Structure 1
Amino acid sequence: MATDLSAQPGKLAHIHLGVDGGAEKFFVRLSRALAKRGVEQVAFIRKDRPWRNELAEHCDVREMTFSRSHIKRHVIRWNIARQIRQFGAGVTMGWMSPASKWLPKPGPDMRTFLRLGDWPDGFHTYGNVQDLIGNTPEIIRQAVEMGWPADRAHVISNFVDPLPADLQPVNRADYNTPEDATVLIHLGRFVRRKRFDLAIETVARLPQNVHAWLIGDGDLMEDMKALAAERGVTDRVHFLGWQRNPSPFLKAADILLCPTDEEPLGNIVLEGWNAGLPVIATASPGPSWLIEHGKTGLLSPCGDVEGLVGSVTNLQETPGLRAELVDGGRAYLSKNYSEQGVLNSYDLLLGS
């Protein structure tokens, strides 16, 4: 029978090799929520992560060097397993595929999980993984289709923290944005699949009072700045860099834009609903699973800039649609992606 961690607080180990992004924000958020339920945790992470101190507020943090050397890997994995035993954890959760090679061997006193927030890329390093946790059904469907046992694959999605009641929006003037502009906001890494180019192309096809705030960093940043210059919208497309706390920007924006091609979940959709924004997205797997078109957001085909333009125009020209989408998104978020509901699912799985 499943053991409820909220009733019998246990000990949990994490292995997370990430840098800084939505997955890392949720890792800290989940760890904090588990700590509030009395779960003691230890986390093995790379050195100098920008979220290290935030995690350390509620979790024992061990910073390590993860070598690519085959010989050193065995020594490091043995060291991690030894520290986990000393800590007293009976469950270890790896975060994303790179963590799989560092998991301790499962056994009578150790259960191992690998949490995926992106598509599985093969199981060649999954030898010590007992169960997979995916944050969308599509991730798990692909894993099972690739040969992972269905009875060892589980879906548990994400949750977001409610915004503070006294949260103040950023001052638009500080970002060269008129107070009366319609501001589209898109967040993420500047990589191909996030399609920041579509956000720029959308602004270029809309009236002068439409601006875009692009929050993030990455390899394609300079390419996107060049595209904005080519389309003549450098005064309306604002590159705001990576923001550890994007909430004040979300609160100051008008529409959350998610134009991605291959989005497993779409944390920014949840963030948009949480901030009280109407959401416009392309129909990649995650947003298609999250959004009911016309009720909790507006969907258009992937890669279709005219569809995005039409969605923005529809929002601007249809009285009451904004309020309907905002109310629908908030209600859906509260019902399906609450902290309590997600934690209960982890309790049942990790504590079983």
Structure 2
Amino acid sequence: MVTKLSNRPRKLAHIHLGVDGGAERFFVRLSKALAERDVEQIAFIRPDRSWRDELARHCDVRELTFSRSHIKRHFVRWHITHEIKKFGASSTLGWMSPASKWLPKPGPNMRTFLRLGDWPDGFHTYGNVQHLIGNTPDIVAQAIEMGWPADRATVISNFVEPLPEDLKPVDRAAYNTPSDAIVLVHLGRFVQRKRFDLMIKAVAQLPQTVHAWLIGDGELMNEMIALARSLSVEDRVHFMGWQRDPAPYLKAADILVCPTDDEPLGNIVLEGWNVGLPVIAAASPGPSWLIENGVNGLLFPCGDVEGLIYSVRNTLARADKIKSLVKNGTQSLEQNLSAISISDQYLRLFSMDISSS
């Protein structure tokens, strides 16, 4: 029996200033999942986001320019507040710290939340935030250590959507990758903490049959291209660029690797499980929370290229181990990280009625 939590209208406002990445993919997924639970939504986003049309299928999208000007900032916040009141939202959810400065003041008919998918960097813009949501225990713990009230913080993880049964992998030949190669895949922004360099260094010490697909873009891409060239593995390290939907690429790979040094959650771990890949990850906070080492994935010490190489070799040497890791990773998603389970947690926190869902 599901408890009826509130008679309020099931209306939610979002404020999201992001560009492209795992957080944005989850934003669209959560909005869709809530729409399927009969939650009416409005979202304030920056113009020309690549995911705008996908979001608009189930959410009223308002594109705004979020100015840094003190005067314009107050006008934009006033406009957002006016539109939220007119819409009749009972809750407003800001996404990541930059959204906090645009949150309207909470009141008797509207509560405010801020969702963090990364470490908090201070609360100086959190004046209108009533409640924090972190997608891992470590994010919430750090916020509390920094002084945020524990009774105003909640952990709610991410989820991934089941993939279409007819999902087709990309053609390896289109990316100069032999059909019989062992493909390691990593994706994200080309920034220092994502440690794309570990992938390249590992490939240089692994057999010639091992290739790496690096999906994403960012400031360090040219440096990583130069590193691959200096290690003479430019023919086995493939830079795939940013992909709005990485699933067909993951489907064509053999092992997902998350070598990030400081990963709060690790959406790519979930995405790897979702396509049925064995997952190897650096033991940073998020993956260490998601992965039981040796059961649903393998962990190696952060920054340890030899540990990564050992994990890859150990995985490739045992077909039974691959099968077990994949099976248990799939179970982890289905049992703990489904769209229904996670959206239920949001609805409860927002005090929305889920009795009919």
Superposition TM-score, scaled by structure 1 size: 0.98
Instruction: Decide whether the 8 Å contact of 1:247 with 1:275 is kept in 2.
Output: yes
Q: Which runs of 5+ in 2 are unaligned?
A: 353-357
- The list of structure 1 runs, each at least 4 consecutive aligned residues, that deviate by more than 3 angstroms after superposition, is 1-5
Provide the rounded CA distance (Å) in 2 between the counterparts of 1:115 and 1:183: 34
After superposition, where does 1:1-352 map in structure 2 within 5 Å? 3-4=4-5, 10-351=10-351
Provide the rounded CA distance (Å) in 2 between the counterparts of 1:319 and 1:48: 45
SS of aligned partner of 1:38:
coil
Instruction: Decide whether the 8 Å contact of 1:2 with 1:351 is kept in 2.
Output: no
- Over the matched positions of the two proteins, sequence identity in percent amounts to 70
Provide the rounded CA distance (Å) in 2 between the counterparts of 1:278 and 1:348: 33
Instruction: Decide whether the 8 Å contact of 2:8 with 2:90 is kept in 1.
Output: no
The amino acid that maps onto 1:339 is: A
TM-superposed CA distance for 1:158, in Å, is 0.5
Deviations 1:86-137 (A, max 9, x none): 1111210000000000000011111000000000000000000000000000
Deviations 1:228-274 (A, max 9, x none): 00010000000000001111111110000000000000000000000
TM-superposed CA distance for 1:2, in Å, is 7.3
Deviations 1:264-312 (A, max 9, x none): 0000000000000000011000000000111001101000000000000
What is the alpha-carbon root mean square deviation over aligned residues? Answer: 1.3
Provide the rounded CA distance (Å) in 2 between the counterparts of 1:347 and 1:232: 52
Instruction: Decide whether the 8 Å contact of 1:3 with 1:347 is kept in 2.
Output: no
Instruction: Decide whether the 8 Å contact of 1:183 with 1:255 is kept in 2.
Output: yes
SS of aligned partner of 1:147:
coil
Provide the rounded CA distance (Å) in 2 between the counterparts of 1:346 and 1:187: 27
TM-superposed CA distance for 1:316, in Å, is 1.2
TM-superposed CA distance for 1:317, in Å, is 1.1
Instruction: Decide whether the 8 Å contact of 1:131 with 1:153 is kept in 2.
Output: yes
Provide the rounded CA distance (Å) in 2 between the counterparts of 1:84 and 1:8: 15
Provide the rounded CA distance (Å) in 2 between the counterparts of 1:267 and 1:211: 22
Instruction: Decide whether the 8 Å contact of 1:15 with 1:93 is kept in 2.
Output: yes
TM-superposed CA distance for 1:319, in Å, is 3.4
SS of aligned partner of 1:314:
helix
Provide the rounded CA distance (Å) in 1 between the counterparts of 2:84 and 2:8: 19
Deviations 1:125-166 (A, max 9, x none): 000000000000000000000000000000000010111000
SS of aligned partner of 2:140:
helix
The amino acid that maps onto 1:66 is: F
TM-superposed CA distance for 1:8, in Å, is 7.0
Provide the rounded CA distance (Å) in 1 between the counterparts of 2:3 and 2:143: 25
Deviations 1:169-207 (A, max 9, x none): 111111000011100000100001000000101101101
Instruction: Decide whether the 8 Å contact of 2:116 with 2:139 is kept in 1.
Output: yes
Instruction: Decide whether the 8 Å contact of 1:10 with 1:39 is kept in 2.
Output: yes
Instruction: Decide whether the 8 Å contact of 1:3 with 1:351 is kept in 2.
Output: no
SS of aligned partner of 1:198:
helix
SS of aligned partner of 1:53:
helix
TM-superposed CA distance for 1:54, in Å, is 0.6
TM-superposed CA distance for 1:351, in Å, is 1.8
Deviations 1:321-352 (A, max 9, x none): 10010011111111110111101101110126
TM-superposed CA distance for 1:9, in Å, is 5.6
Q: Which runs of 5+ in 1 are unaligned?
A: none
Deviations 1:28-84 (A, max 9, x none): 000011111111100000011111111111100000010101121111101100010
The amino acid that maps onto 1:49 is: R
TM-superposed CA distance for 1:3, in Å, is 4.8
Provide the rounded CA distance (Å) in 1 between the counterparts of 2:249 and 2:18: 24
